[in-house]
Amino acid sequence: MLELALMFFVIAVIAGALGATGIAGLTMTIAKWLVIVFLVLAVVSLLL
């Protein structure tokens, strides 16, 4: 899960550098949600 978030972050940085702000914003949103899901799952697995 975290690897996917990092991949989307790298794609967003590259797209932002190339001027594709729409794609960069979308991939940053996806990366943000993947990190949130990862953190929630990590906390749940530590508690159980």
Q: Which residues of the chain have pLDDT under 50?
A: none
The reported pLDDT for the residue numbered 23 is 87
The reported pLDDT for the residue numbered 36 is 93
Residue type, 26: L
Give the global pTM: 0.77
Residue type, 1: M
Question: Between the CA atoms of 38, 24, 18 and 7, what dihedral angle is there, to the nearest 10 degrees?
Answer: 20
End-to-end CA distance of the chain: give it in Å, rounded: 19
**What is the CA angle 6-38-3, rounded to 5?**
25
Question: Can you tell me the distance from the alpha carbon of 36 to that of 45, in angstroms, rounded to the nearest whole number?
Answer: 14
The reported pLDDT for the residue numbered 33 is 92
